[in-house]
């Protein structure tokens, strides 16, 4: 195994060792050590809750994120290509974008009740605006010469979008997708603390309320971080594959 791959593992081991040392030096602390947290994860697995909560969180993220992607990319393309439409809609996007998705929790519960739909709606909002703005800006960054050449050759609008526009914005779009997925994962955890009764966010709140099980609280935090890393690695793999493909195309 290369040294570059060992460095992240070394950092994790050092952090876990420091964690254990800190707990050992302060045994009266309520924060559990890594061994207790590992036992808590094992307890969740034995009770069948580990897979249940992880799947519940990933289910909500998948639907909210994909729905936002399906809406945001065509909307961003349309706004980027039509400057008048952008001038009319962009101020609304800029007003909504700074509003935290968590501020919509009361409205989500009012509209959809306590359940999956509320969390999915919040994830949808969290992903929609960044993806729309990123797509719109990516269209602006395209060299106008390419689109003008496509029009001069008489290429239909649909073909110009699928063969010229989308391939040109894809590298920037994948970066935006990666960032939006990270935001969606953050939002689902926060939403699950309030709007649902399952998932990793619910696990943290429920463990705190059920006899101060801080081992399970930290276990939920560790699982959230681990899954977040896996999701980011998957998006980085897609980004890398796209970069390689474009590199070959340039050659």
Q: Which CATH architecture has domain 37-250?
A: Orthogonal Bundle (1.10)
Average pLDDT rounded to a whole number, residues 114-121 = 88
Give the model confidence (pLDDT) of 206-245 as tens digits.
888 876 788 888 999 999 999 999 998 888 888 777 554 5
Q: What pLDDT, on the 0 to 100 scale, is given for residue 251?
A: 39
CB atoms within 10 A of CB 208: 15
* 131 CB-contact burial (10 Å; exposed 0-12 / middle 13-18 / buried 19+): buried
Least confident of 162-171, 192-201, 239-248: 239-248
Query: Whole-prediction pTM value?
Result: 0.83
Range with the largest mean pLDDT of 57-71, 98-112, 161-175, 209-223: 57-71
What pLDDT band is residue 53 in, cutting at 50, 70 and 90? Answer: very high
Burial letters 14-49, b for 16+ CB under 10 A, else e = eeeeebeeebeeeeeeeebbeeebeebbeebeeeee
Show me where the domains of the chain are located.
37-250
pLDDT of 155 higher than 80 = no
Give the model confidence (pLDDT) of 122-144 as tens digits.
999 999 999 999 998 888 887 77
């Amino acid at each position: 195994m290369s040294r570059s791959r060992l460095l992240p593992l070394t950092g994790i081991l050092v952090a876990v060792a420091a964690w254990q040392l800190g707990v050992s030096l302060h045994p009266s602390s309520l924060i559990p050590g890594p061994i207790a947290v590992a036992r808590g994860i094992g307890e969740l697995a034995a009770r069948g809750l580990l897979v249940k909560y992880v799947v519940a969180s990933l289910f909500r993220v998948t639907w909210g994120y994909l729905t936002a992607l399906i809406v945001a990319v065509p909307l961003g393309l349309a706004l980027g290509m039509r400057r008048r439409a952008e001038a009319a809609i962009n101020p609304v996007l800029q007003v909504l974008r700074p509003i935290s998705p968590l501020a919509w929790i009361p409205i989500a519960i009012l509209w959809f009740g306590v359940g999956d739909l509320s969390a999915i709606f919040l994830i949808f909002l969290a992903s929609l605006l960044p993806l729309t703005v990123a797509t719109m800006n990516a269209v602006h960054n395209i060299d106008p010469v390419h689109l003008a050449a496509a029009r001069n050759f008489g290429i239909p609008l649909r073909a110009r979008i699928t063969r010229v526009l989308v391939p040109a914005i894809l590298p920037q779009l994948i970066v935006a997708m990666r960032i939006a997925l990270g935001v969606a994962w953050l939002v689902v955890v926060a939403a699950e603390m309030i709007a649902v009764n399952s998932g990793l966010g619910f696990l943290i709140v429920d463990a705190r309320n059920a006899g101060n099980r801080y081992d399970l609280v930290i276990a939920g935090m560790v699982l959230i971080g681990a899954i977040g890393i896996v999701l980011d690695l998957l998006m980085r793999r897609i980004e890398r594959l796209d970069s390689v493909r474009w590199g070959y195309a340039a050659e």
